[in-house]
Structure 1
Amino acid sequence: CICQVSVSSAAWGSLTLALFVATFGPSAGFYFILYMVFFLAGSLGVIFIYGKLNSEKLLESYEQTVLPAVLPAIKAVAAEIRQENKPGKGDRRLTGASIIDEPLQQVLQYVLRDYVHCWYYDLSDDEGFLLEVRQIMQMALTTLFNRCKDVEWQPYLTTRLVDDFASHLRAYRKALRKVNEHDVAEAQQSDDADEIVEAFFNAEVEMEKEICRDLVCTSEQEEREFLRDLSEVLLFLLLPSNDFQSRSVRCVLREIFVMGILLPTVDTLSDPDYINQYVTWMLNDSPCTCEAFLTVLKGSELLDELEAVREKASEELQRLRSQDTIGDADVTVKGQMNSLQFVKKLCEVRMDRLRCGKEQELECSRLPANLGKLCVIPLDDILGNNIALQYFIDYMQSMAAQALLFFWLIVEGYRVTAEQQLDALHRERVGAPRHAPPTHNLVVMLRNAAIGVYEQYLGEKASPRVRVDDVMLANLREKLHREDLPPNLFPGLFDDIQRKVYDTMLRDDRYYPGFKQSSFYVKALAELDMLKEPSIREGDDSESYNGSPASSLNVSLDDLSLTAQTPSPEEPGQLQAQITETGVGNEHGKSYTLYAITVTRRHNDGSQDSWDTFRRYRGVNDLHMRINEQ
């Protein structure tokens, strides 16, 4: 039965195939298979797209649930976290003054851009860390500015900073003196710059009592480590405790301060080009005066520089002489010629001293055999002259008595400042009574300044301390704590103690009398051109190098306004000189007297010639002293 069914199925199949081939042809089978393949592929594609759409709808229906969202933590903690994550606008105030805060905000933005953004965006795109760093920096700056308001800047800027700067200059000058004391051959064999640096830090150790900063100043690695330690201390003082305990934030801020702010600032301030450009910019509106120009020439150590100035002076002198030979007897031209001749001689003498190695030490032949024959400069004139005062400071430093001198100078500055402030307040009250500042503010400022002077030099914690009478100290303390002290008494608060200190320096053999017998005094006289040596003028009309004893500075103008007449039958005529006009000048805090002298020459035939010349008090007084000696 099964065999019959199989034969029947095969027969029908064969018949169907034969009819299909007869109807559609021999290639119909191939096309049929191709059609079936495309049909199956299309069916599967439709089923896939339909299933995908239904799956997406089903997933959306599953996500839209009616159950409330479950918080991942405690509600209070989660709410606080969400509130902290919200980026707020923040307080952009730093100092309270918008004119200062805006530039500081730009500086913060530039610092973050140059030193944080360049590497942070390679690690993460999250702005939270950058915002946190900026807020911490703002907080540190705000704390710094608030603390700066509590600092007494006036005593610091007028005393401690000036003392530190003066100590630095003294150490540098001491190092230069030590270097110049070496043999010339040894100086040629060694590096002069390295030798000066070594001598400077040796002098610093001697002056600062075993404190030396050579490693910090000469080694870049030590300098960075020192600045890092300094930044750590500043961050500890300025940052909140929570932020300071974060090591990552502390390290980032420390490196930003060191590499982005402190180190570039130190490098800039140590760059000679920057300093020269800054000084040039500051002097644009302040032309160089004659006194300053001559001071620079006297202290110059560059032969090329002196030679260039001498050549320029010679060229200008030749040009003016050509004008003078034509018959131009103008007083201004003659004065310019005298000044140029003086500058030329000054350059030549300075060059000779440098070539002969006489810069720092004076020749024995120039010094008087007896120091008593030197010009005597009163203590008042020493305290009022910058050059002499510098040598007196060096001498007092060598005697470990610089506190006396510094106290006198500080008190003198306080007295002058107080008088100026009170005078300005009085003028404002007279001119505009309604807009004048209250007296109380000025009294508070003067009292605070006086207390600062007292604590620095006279207080029990002062180091070094100026020793004065206990009664004077008690009177001073009583005045300082009096709330009803009249303002006009503030300038004279320290008068009694200042007078006592002045008498001590004047009469104690260790101070002013010892200074007159020291090499510092001789060097001061040499720099002031007051040593009794032959004049370098050699008959010129230029100003003389010779100084006159300062003890003769009290000679009256009546004694100087004399007429020198030298008649002689052997001479072809006679000369007459008369001071026709006097004036007082003040340059760089130095006052000097200038005389206009009319010289008349009478010939035997009755004719006469007359010309005018200018001389400073030093030359006129020197002539007067020579006439008296003869």
Structure 2
Amino acid sequence: MLLTRNNLLLAAFAAFIAWGLAVQSFPVLRFIGYAFTLGAVSTVVLLAAATLLISRRPRPAPTAAQLANKPLFLTPAQWRTEAAAAKRRDQYQPLDLYTSSFVVSQAIDTLLGFALRDFVSAWYRNITTSPAFVNDIDKKIRLAIQELLARLASEDIVNVVVTKIVPIFNAHMRDFDQAERLVKGRSLNRSITESEELDLAIAAKYKDGKLHPAASLSFSDTKSIEQDHLRKLVVRILPELVSEDVLGSRAALVLVKEIIACAVLLPIVQLLKDPDTWNQVVENYGRSALQDRKTVRRMRAALDEHTASPGKARTEADFPRLGPHDSERAFERFVRAIRKAKNLSDARRFRSQVASQLKRESMVEGQDPVYLRRLEMGKRVLDQKITKLALSTGALPGTPLSGEPRKSLDSSKPQTRELTLVEIMHTASGLSYFMEFMDRQQLMTLVQFWIVVDGFRNPLEDDFGDDPIGVSTAPSWTDADRTDIARISEAYMAKAEIDVPTESKQAIRSFLVAGRKATQAQYREARMAILSTQSAVLEQLQTNHYPSFKKSDLYYKFLATDDARITSPDQGAGFDLLDIPQSLSPVKAVKPAPTQP
């Protein structure tokens, strides 16, 4: 029930009347009223006097002793310094782990970002949002990876694999084979069902039960044993990779050890020990290898069909080889095989082989002179056979067919030209022989780079990227173009054999770093850089290596193939490059040269 104002007034009036009646009845009660009134008035007077009369004295300056008891960072200057340092720590720039390739460096950065997100930030962001701790861990990991890469670069990987890893693998396979034969019989002829019990029995016989420290037959789940073994390995490796400040902090050491051993290495080990992993690897790589083999076989069949003669498939005649200590009968068979040559291509091929064999054997000290004379005689017989077949088929330039007036070679031979290096590399056999020659010089990279960029170049494009389409109407670049430029840059631009100007490298890198935001001008500059580098490589090949190739035995073999035959644009008559250099063929006139016994 709520009391209204009238009720309160009536209650106050009734209380006043009651108090007057009580005082009238008992006069002593009036002193209680006096005491209450005096106390209230005294309280109000004292509060007013304290407020008006009492003032606060100025506090003295703190002494040095008093300041020493306060934290140092609370001083204004130190506080500003610490705040600026905290901002600088938040601005973190990670180190590049592989400066030679930004693609590899970006892949490693992505992997480290995933590792920090899953193993550190997942629980640390519940403590604080400051990235200083995560950045410091990332910095320590990068320094450790750099130290690991430096240690690997200083080691001879081939020597380590041959002298340490391969013997361990061989010993393991030998011990496992012995254990398996102890269980399944010496010839592995015991019919035993494949089961977990069979695996445990073979493991018990493996090196008389002395298994790896991370494996045990007494535990069904070896995860805890594997974790302990990985922790021991990490403790042994960490002093070689991390700095002393990390090793000096027990909390940091335990944290790093647990993350590397249990969160990184253990899943990798479990993945590698799963047989299904290796089955998938073998299936994927084996399938691609078989498909590549089938593709190569189909390509070779197509090339053989393309290079075959129009009338019928070209059959390679078996050509007997002449040895240093062969008898007279063997030499007679050798000469008869030469005289049985039915077509000009086989005769030229035989001559190329004999010329290469003669040149090679003549450089051997103490070689049998009879053997060399036989090779020289076989070469002369082949020259006569080639001349005879060329006259009968009209393959020699300016040589009339049967029934036409015969003219001399000097008066009727048209102007001829040799194949250029580019034309040679555009033929299957020429490219094969030139690549083999450059492989002997250990400069195969130059030819591979030229071939790759030649497929990248447009048919009507020059060295500066100009084509009839024009820049304004040219279509914009695609992801495939960017992938091609990235692969060429990754595979060849960093090689020491290829001299790439700094401006070209910068143009390519700018285009790739820009990603999908790259402009058409950046793509054009990157493409021009690659094409100009290809032109420089071609000039280097023509100037420094093509003359030596023309003097080698591989050039002789190329001239004996059908790819060396070209058609004169003026005469329209077919001629063969075998007749162009005088040093390659002794044919001087139509009339065969007399043989020497």
What range is the shorter-chain TM-score in? 0.3 to 0.5
TM-score where L is the length of structure 1: 0.33
- Give the TM-score, by structure 2 length: 0.35
Which one has a larger percent strand, Structure 1 or Structure 2?
1
